[in-house]
Structure 1
Amino acid sequence: MKNTHTLNALTLAVCAALSGTAFAQEAAPSDAEKKEKEKYEQIVVTAAPGGATMQEASVSVSSFDENDIIKLAPRSTAEVFRALPGIRAESSGGGGNANITIRGIPLATGGSKFLQLHEDGLPVLEYGDINFGNADNFIRYDWSVANVEAIRGGSASTFASNSPGGVINMISNTGEVGGGAIGTSFGVDYDEFRLDFRYGGEISDDMYYHIAGFARGGEGPRDTGYNGDQGGQIKFNITKMLDNGHIRFYYKNLDDKVSTYLPSPVLVKGDGEYGPVPNYDASSQALNSAFNTNISTFDSFGNPENRDVRDGIESKVSSFGIEVDLEVADNLFLLNKFRTSDISGGFIAPFTDGFPAGPGDVSNFASALCAGATDGDGNALNCDTTTVTLANGPGAGNAYSGQAFTNLQFDTRINDLGNMINDFSLRKEFDNGVDLTVGYYYSNQEIATSWSSWQTFIQTLDGSNSQMLNITNGDGVELVSDGLLSPSFLSWEWDLNYQTTAPYMNVGFELSDNILIDASVRYDTVEASGELINSCCGGNTDFDINGNGVIEQIEDASATNSGFIRGGVINLNRAGAASQIVDYDANNTSYSVGGSYLLSDSQTFFARYSKGGRAIADRLLQIGGTLNQDGSLTSTTSGFDTTKQLEVGYKYGTSDLMINATLFDTVTEDTQAEVTSGLTFMREYEATGLEFEGRWNATDNFVMAGNLTWTDAEISSDVNNAAIVGNTPRRQADWIWTITPEYVTDTWSVGASLQGSTEYYVQDNNDLKQEGYTLVNLFATYWVNDQFSVALNVNNATDEFVVTEVEATPFGEISTGDFVRGRPLNGRTTVLSLKYMFD
């Protein structure tokens, strides 16, 4: 039952070959059964008591290797995660900006608040829902990854900070098993090229290494009019084996840009059914445009600057880490994981603020805009007539009377999201079956971002290079110049620091050969400091934004135009800007108690109760009444939200059949702020559910795998809006599933991954919903020989139009034929990949 080392050879032996856009199978089909057996004997290394295998551990744990991932036909990291039991991973944002949660825990806004994403046992970011800094923006799935391990609930509360819902850990290939591969993949029906490589092996008898990475370029899965997916990653590690353990050094450099897809126009086709609006299909097209790539704006201090919209989500990460795993005395094990990361980049993308043309044309909008505007002296304008023309692109200067949308250009610079993290622990195994672990966790997380003076444009509603519009009144006064409706919307400068310290302890008892019990506790302390400067908007001098040599009304710093959408440039400077100081300490005690009863080598019953906490971090500053003027916390918040979970489960695992079932009950507090609507939440949610996970090797050739999760969730309390109490939380379906049948021969394999959901409400008021759906992902691989393979995979083969979120603009009654603001999953995409393996 005991294990003498936390590094298990079986973990290292799972050698993956994975690509973010296409996955060609590397392992020979005859190896599948052996690797499946290894999986149940694999030591759990993620957010759990040490020394227990996946079969023994009293937690819900899943592990994916390359053979599992290639069947999902993923186009992003989030699409890998969505196949894990109990996890909702909404990948509608493209290569980043995904929304991820678990087990009915709320997904009130973006990111992954209660679920942490780890690389090699340490969080990518301490907080997964930083405004415009989602954790998945700074992580890429490629051939450097050996396997993905996920802990749902349970001991994640005490073995990791700020992750009471669970942890998804991407574990690197270390090269203990030598060899390499190189491969290319091509978008068949979309524009993307990608090169992946990996190589590893022994340097000497006691030293080995692994290096891997990728480079790519293209538009990505949706039409943007330019190459928005550009960049790559390289990861390297080297391991020195000692007589009593190992020391490993890691390095990662990520420099990548991906287009992100924010909510955009969607047509309401019926109750729960959505589709493309005329001239624009949000599932395969984007409102990004080659005619609006470079914009002149103001930084958060009011200084003029230029921004390139093609940067999209720009992710720059340079990190270095050390892992030390040693038996320092008889049955006394030291494990220390350290990583320091420089993280920066940006986030810029068009966001649909509204539909001034509705399903009709733009003329009514032009008239209303003119009627609501005044000149610099406050006098009404001549609005007897208005003219709308194309400002750029084909037909520039021609009159335009079609559909339009207002583009609120989200524009944030990620100056510093760097962190330094260290997790130290000592584990002692006693002869009487007691296992004691004590540890200390330290994290220093920077949050320094600049929300520039977001501009609002009016553009043609067109999925193929949307064009800017000009609007003038009867006297020739430009109300909209080169598409610019309002030169500035807001301007915030964030400069925050969060230091987390957490001593923790776990005691495990081996009461008999088949009864294991453990109890753990963690005490998190967060020291928050910094400042948020809030000043809206622009600079305090005239600025020729469109560069035509003339200071027009919209560029006049003294103009203050109120009414309708346009706001003008407000004459403010930083000297008089509002400021919120942050200076507080917060703490939380987490605990977890669980046990396993090993009925046999293949059957385990387990139960666990846990309470964990999540520091609220930067979003706390957007919620009124939570901070005093001196930066201290008010009585309305403790600075932490908590999650309580009860789990009861059963595991059955052999090389031919695996079945896991877990009953869970969850209560979660959530204090949250939503950027797009300006709403804030102080709520409690309750969820009860049942997870199933299984795999059946029916014959030597046919394998069936999958998972199914049922969740019954409700909003149990709300401080600000009692009317929604009892409602189902937004985007929470009763059932979600992934079912993957596969047929394998000596030279080829073919299969499908069916991922689906029953209907769910897209807002907390439970008015709008998305009907149930099933996405069909197809995959096939042909081995030309033992070294060379060709693979084809199709994501969303039936081209389903499925929205993950929807808002009415403006909010109100919705009828069939209306336009709403929504974010759908990608339509059908097909990838062809080639891979060559070598020693």
Structure 2
Amino acid sequence: MLETYKMKTLAIAIACGLGTTALAQEETDVDKQVYEQIVVTASPSGATAQEASVSVSSLNDIAIQKLAPRSTAEVFRALPGIRAESSGGGGNANITIRGIPLATGGSKFMQIHEDGLPVLEFGDINFGNTDNFLRYDWSVGTVEAVRGGSASTFASNSPGGVINLISKTGESGGGAIGTSFGVDYDEFRLDFSYGGEINNDLYFHIGGFARGGEGTRDTGFNGDQGGQVKFNMTQLLDKGHVRFYFKHLDDRVTTYLPAPVLVNSNGDYGPVPNFDASSETLHSAYTTNVSTFDSFGNPRNRDLTDGIESQVTSFGFEADLEVAPDTVLLNRFRISDVSGGFISPFTDTFGAFGPQGAQQMAGAICDSALDGDGNPFNCASTSVTLANGPNAGSEYTGLAFLNLLFDTSINDLGNMINDLNVRKEFDNGMSLTVGYYYSKQDIATSWNSWNTFIQTVDGTDSQYLHITDADGNALVNNGLWAPSFLSWEWDLNYTTTAPYINFGFEVGDDWLFDISARRDSVDANGELISACCGGNTDFDLNGNGVIDGNSEDASASNGFGFGGGVINLNRAGTGSQIINYDASNTSFSLGGSYLYSDEMTFFARYSEGGRAIADRLLQIAGTLNGDGSLTSTTSGFDETDQFELGLKYGTPDLQFNATFFNTVTQDTQAELTSGLTFIREYEATGIELEGRYDIGSGFSVTGNATWTDAEISEDRFNPALVGNTPRRQADLIYTIVPQFDTDNFTVGAALQGSTEYYVQDSNELKQDAYMLVNLFATYYISDDFSVSLNINNATDEFVITESEEGNAMAGDIIRARPLNGRTSSISVKYSF
């Protein structure tokens, strides 16, 4: 029965759009698809999506095009159970799964893979979110996601799940080239893909993109600029294949940090006067060049147009070989050089520093400042004028904000990763897989001496403000309030090793079981050097030969703990924290499937997995001893336990999957923007639904929905939060895609939405329920040439994904990140 079942369920899965089984390669012939297609991501080998006792979903390139994604995170948002907050632009997204907490940025409890190996070993590195260093383009054949389950034992540091971008390989010839451009935003993009045979047993694929423009929001400069090329070559052998990969990514995108947003009411938000955070940014052509210092006090210039710089060069190979009868060796290897940077304005607030009216902010600054002799300024009145731009010197009375410039140089996030396993099939239906995983991840970043500026709240024309007291003394000198907020130098290395084992067996014709275990060991070493806030040496910041204004004396204080206009150039005696520890964690997973019929499968699984805490551990007081060893506060790992129970049903016209899950997660975390630290436990219970239905006459609908009931079950530092709903966790998220197809055109909509959720753990301020309407239409001029129109957020909904404030009144201005407003694009594609 199992062989018949495999053939039929694979055929069904191939026909299904958003809910298909992953294509290990897009361009295989039909017979091979029917007989050999299997789940390839973080799962026991050899099982189809219908048989496997895991929750697995995928998107092919046709399904992704319908979503009108403006970033890789917007692709992930369409997968069931995945919460991908794509409000940061082309990178810097926050991604989680199944109610697992999203206490800070990145994707802590789930990994993002390319071709079966992680892009970065840790998904929440400070300013190094994984999605910063990968791009979805036409080189990708399938995006496959395994949620929970065996991800605990078939991948390190990913107990929540794995999203895998699987490349096309060119096994059958052909390709495509296309261009797209924004109708109501400034971006031009070229995509290409081509593959084919070199000879009968050697084939290749090459693909990538190039683009330029402002991006989806107005900045005043070309902030999205660069591209990617990926290449692979496969040599077929008598008993397997060897495949080589190469990738080069050189790209920069403007990233959007929290900005001023108006509270219309609790749950409803909108633009502030002269600034719409959903379509504009606080970047400006007038404020692109900054004179600052590196983390060792050396002067340097920085360019805000760089945004998130992503430079990745990777080389890898995959060997899949039958080395003995019924014995297969699979080895994947990749070495990556990863570097770049992160620079973007963050709307901060100290005391009464806004965002607010410029005169109000000037008064607050004056009341808090001291001159070079430690005396207060004359605050009988203050003057606020534009410091630069065409109207420099003119009085300014609009809104102002304190720009804490997040400025980080990513010197090295490179890694070397190898995953080796051997799988033996026995005649009695049993199988044994034994593997060994090795990863070396560097984290070398420089948090440059973050400047703080006072600027206008003004879309693409934000300008610096010059503020003086009643006597004409400079309180804010040409926009600069303080040149040295903080300075940290990170130089860390994490070596992860993990032996793992999986045992699978059949019982009768209808039952499949597997049990697996993994032992992760992390060797961490390195140092964090920190300096903050002032010093004892003056520096001529503007190079005019005079140290003046509020920087005339290094001992001066602006009332907020850092020296007025100075930076510490003497790093002697600077505080530092070394790390020098070993930590280990054992994970296991037990699952089984019951093949009730050719159309229906029931499955269940229980898993316990771990995630090494990595660099954020250094920001949490009490976790490390002076010698770098761990204290009793932490084991160096956070753990996630998951139970799943589900069914899968499939016919040629209807596919339906439902999974019940219960998740308990430990989280040790540090939040940069608030300075808060977390040592918590979360619990979530929910149901995932996904499916596809061919109605007939060209009509079909695909989609998914996830209902989650989550709460903070323990909090070591703030027990009052126990029982609250975790921040940004909605009860229901969904994607529904109705469409109509003919021989000449396709039209439809991708409806993506959420019920209301709280923006902070205090459960006071919330975002109301919303639905984004993404429209798509493709007209096939010929079999090879098509024109498409995509409209993302067609109704221009104003939706925030996060807020720095946890409570506010109607009329208040908060600091939040909204999703993009309406954006439209036209694309043409020629296939050959």
After TM superposition, the score normalised by the length of structure 2 is 0.95
Aligned to 1:508: 504
Please report how far the alpha carbon of residue 513 of structure 1 lies from its aligned counterpart in structure 2 after TM superposition: 1.8
- What letter matches 1:70 in structure 2? Q
Q: From the superposition, tell whether residues 566 and 796 of structure 1 become closer, same or farther in structure 2 (CA, over 3 Å).
A: farther
Aligned to 1:826: 820
Residue 747 (1) aligns with residue 727 (2): no
Alignment partner of 1:440 out of 412, 436, 441: 436
Alignment partner of 1:792 out of 789, 804, 816: 789
Counterparts in 2 of 1:653-802, with a 5 A limit?
A: 653-802=650-799
Aligned to 2:157: 162
Q: From the superposition, tell whether residues 566 and 620 of structure 1 become closer, same or farther in structure 2 (CA, over 3 Å).
A: closer
Alignment partner of 2:115 out of 109, 112, 120: 120
CA distance in structure 1 between the partners assigned to 2:525 and 2:766 by the alignment: 41
Tell me the SS of whatever aligns to 1:325. Answer: strand
- What letter matches 1:342 in structure 2? D
- What letter matches 2:495 in structure 1? Q
Map Cα deviations across residues 574-611 of structure 1 (whole Å, 9 max, x no partner).
Answer: 11100101000000000000000011222100000000
CA distance in structure 2 between the partners assigned to 1:150 and 1:37 by the alignment: 22
- What letter matches 1:726 in structure 2? G
Q: From the superposition, tell whether residues 76 and 557 of structure 1 become closer, same or farther in structure 2 (CA, over 3 Å).
A: farther
Aligned to 1:422: 418
Moved more, 114-123 or 67-76: 67-76
Aligned to 2:590: 593
Aligned to 1:22: none
CA distance in structure 1 between the partners assigned to 2:212 and 2:809 by the alignment: 41
Alignment partner of 2:335 out of 340, 350, 354: 340
Aligned to 1:374: 370
Please report how far the alpha carbon of residue 567 of structure 1 lies from its aligned counterpart in structure 2 after TM superposition: 4.5
Aligned to 2:580: 583
Q: From the superposition, tell whether residues 299 and 602 of structure 1 become closer, same or farther in structure 2 (CA, over 3 Å).
A: same
Please report how far the alpha carbon of residue 278 of structure 1 lies from its aligned counterpart in structure 2 after TM superposition: 0.7
Q: From the superposition, tell whether residues 15 and 169 of structure 1 become closer, same or farther in structure 2 (CA, over 3 Å).
A: farther
Residue 262 (1) aligns with residue 257 (2): yes
Q: Is the 8 A contact 2:16 2:692 kept in 1?
A: no
Counterparts in 2 of 1:40-51, with a 5 A limit?
A: 42-51=37-46
Counterparts in 2 of 1:398-409, with a 5 A limit?
A: 398-409=394-405
Q: Is the 8 A contact 1:496 1:528 kept in 2?
A: yes
Tell me the SS of whatever aligns to 1:143. Answer: coil
Tell me the SS of whatever aligns to 1:453. Answer: coil
Residue 602 (1) aligns with residue 596 (2): no
Aligned to 2:190: 195
- What letter matches 1:643 in structure 2? T
Tell me the SS of whatever aligns to 2:297. Answer: coil
Map Cα deviations across residues 518-545 of structure 1 (whole Å, 9 max, x no partner).
Answer: 0000000000000000111467643332
Q: Is the 8 A contact 1:560 1:570 kept in 2?
A: no
CA distance in structure 1 between the partners assigned to 2:525 and 2:740 by the alignment: 56
Q: From the superposition, tell whether residues 110 and 39 of structure 1 become closer, same or farther in structure 2 (CA, over 3 Å).
A: farther
Counterparts in 2 of 1:250-289, with a 5 A limit?
A: 250-289=245-284
Map Cα deviations across residues 30-52 of structure 1 (whole Å, 9 max, x no partner).
Answer: x99x9899599730010000000
- Percent identity over paired residues: 71
Q: Is the 8 A contact 1:357 1:403 kept in 2?
A: no
CA distance in structure 2 between the partners assigned to 1:760 and 1:381 by the alignment: 45
Map Cα deviations across residues 724-763 of structure 1 (whole Å, 9 max, x no partner).
Answer: 1000000000011000001000010000000000000000
Aligned to 2:54: 59
Moved more, 442-451 or 696-705: 696-705
CA distance in structure 2 between the partners assigned to 1:617 and 1:268 by the alignment: 37
Alignment partner of 1:296 out of 291, 294, 297: 291
- What letter matches 2:508 in structure 1? S
Q: Say what the alpha-carbon RMSD is for the aligned residues.
A: 2.3
Q: Is the 8 A contact 1:244 1:326 kept in 2?
A: yes
Q: From the superposition, tell whether residues 498 and 566 of structure 1 become closer, same or farther in structure 2 (CA, over 3 Å).
A: closer
Aligned to 1:90: 85
Q: From the superposition, tell whether residues 560 and 37 of structure 1 become closer, same or farther in structure 2 (CA, over 3 Å).
A: farther
Q: From the superposition, tell whether residues 173 and 699 of structure 1 become closer, same or farther in structure 2 (CA, over 3 Å).
A: same
Residue 532 (1) aligns with residue 528 (2): yes
Please report how far the alpha carbon of residue 559 of structure 1 lies from its aligned counterpart in structure 2 after TM superposition: 3.8
Q: Is the 8 A contact 2:554 2:563 kept in 1?
A: no
CA distance in structure 1 between the partners assigned to 2:196 and 2:125 by the alignment: 38
Tell me the SS of whatever aligns to 2:392. Answer: coil
Alignment partner of 2:454 out of 458, 476, 482: 458
Q: Is the 8 A contact 2:579 2:629 kept in 1?
A: yes
CA distance in structure 2 between the partners assigned to 1:443 and 1:707 by the alignment: 34
Please report how far the alpha carbon of residue 110 of structure 1 lies from its aligned counterpart in structure 2 after TM superposition: 0.2
Q: Is the 8 A contact 1:298 1:539 kept in 2?
A: no
Q: Is the 8 A contact 2:372 2:551 kept in 1?
A: no
Tell me the SS of whatever aligns to 1:68. Answer: helix
- What letter matches 2:767 in structure 1? Q
How many pairs were matched up?
817
- What letter matches 1:599 in structure 2? Y
CA distance in structure 2 between the partners assigned to 1:765 and 1:738 by the alignment: 28
Residue 613 (1) aligns with residue 607 (2): no
Residue 211 (1) aligns with residue 211 (2): no
Tell me the SS of whatever aligns to 2:305. Answer: helix
CA distance in structure 1 between the partners assigned to 2:225 and 2:16 by the alignment: 24
CA distance in structure 2 between the partners assigned to 1:543 and 1:675 by the alignment: 28
CA distance in structure 1 between the partners assigned to 2:526 and 2:773 by the alignment: 48
CA distance in structure 2 between the partners assigned to 1:37 and 1:211 by the alignment: 23
Residue 320 (1) aligns with residue 279 (2): no
Tell me the SS of whatever aligns to 1:576. Answer: coil
Residue 305 (1) aligns with residue 300 (2): yes
- What letter matches 2:816 in structure 1? G
Aligned to 2:470: 474
Tell me the SS of whatever aligns to 1:57. Answer: coil
Map Cα deviations across residues 240-286 of structure 1 (whole Å, 9 max, x no partner).
Answer: 00010000000000000000000000111012111111111000000
CA distance in structure 1 between the partners assigned to 2:822 and 2:111 by the alignment: 30
Tell me the SS of whatever aligns to 1:375. Answer: coil
CA distance in structure 2 between the partners assigned to 1:83 and 1:402 by the alignment: 40
Please report how far the alpha carbon of residue 548 of structure 1 lies from its aligned counterpart in structure 2 after TM superposition: 4.2
Tell me the SS of whatever aligns to 1:213. Answer: strand
Aligned to 1:388: 384
- What letter matches 1:399 in structure 2? E
CA distance in structure 2 between the partners assigned to 1:17 and 1:140 by the alignment: 22
Q: Is the 8 A contact 1:486 1:554 kept in 2?
A: no
CA distance in structure 1 between the partners assigned to 2:598 and 2:451 by the alignment: 62
Q: Is the 8 A contact 2:514 2:590 kept in 1?
A: yes
Tell me the SS of whatever aligns to 2:736. Answer: strand
Structure 1 portions without partners, runs of 5+: 19-26
Aligned to 1:495: 491
Please report how far the alpha carbon of residue 181 of structure 1 lies from its aligned counterpart in structure 2 after TM superposition: 1.0
Please report how far the alpha carbon of residue 474 of structure 1 lies from its aligned counterpart in structure 2 after TM superposition: 2.5
Please report how far the alpha carbon of residue 449 of structure 1 lies from its aligned counterpart in structure 2 after TM superposition: 0.3
CA distance in structure 2 between the partners assigned to 1:513 and 1:700 by the alignment: 38
- What letter matches 1:802 in structure 2? V
Q: From the superposition, tell whether residues 16 and 648 of structure 1 become closer, same or farther in structure 2 (CA, over 3 Å).
A: closer
Q: From the superposition, tell whether residues 539 and 372 of structure 1 become closer, same or farther in structure 2 (CA, over 3 Å).
A: closer
- What letter matches 2:811 in structure 1? G
Aligned to 1:23: none
Q: Is the 8 A contact 1:114 1:162 kept in 2?
A: yes
CA distance in structure 1 between the partners assigned to 2:355 and 2:473 by the alignment: 27
CA distance in structure 1 between the partners assigned to 2:652 and 2:311 by the alignment: 42
- What letter matches 1:655 in structure 2? P
